[in-house]
């Protein structure tokens, strides 16, 4: 039976008036984790006050090795 391990990555926006998460920073981190065998299974936008993003959450899995 195949078993998996999971990783959760939280990225918080930078900036005060206009908070943003850099697309290139996300892409770099996703590629880094993919090279380690992690597969992205879900991405969530955690909302803050008035619909702003407080953080982005990415959930990964990979086959567990014994």
Could you write out the three-class secondary structure of the chain?
Answer: CCCEEEEEEEECCECCCCCECCHHHHHHHHHHHHHCCCEEEEEEEEECHHHCEEEEEEEEEEECCC
Q: In which domain, by residue range, is 9 found?
A: 4-63
Task: Give yes or no for a contact between 10 and 56, defined as CB atoms under 8 angstroms apart.
Answer: yes
pLDDT in tens, the chain (66 residues): 899 999 999 887 776 655 567 788 889 999 999 999 999 999 988 776 676 667 889 999 999 987
- pTM confidence score: 0.77
Number of domains comprising the chain: 1
């Amino acid at each position: 039976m195949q078993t998996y391990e999971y990783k959760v990555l939280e990225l918080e926006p930078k900036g005060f008036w206009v908070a943003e998460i850099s697309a290139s920073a996300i892409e770099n981190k996703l590629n880094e984790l993919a090279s380690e065998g992690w597969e992205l299974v879900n991405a969530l936008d955690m909302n803050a006050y008035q619909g702003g993003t407080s953080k982005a959450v990415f959930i990964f899995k990979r086959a567990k090795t014994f």
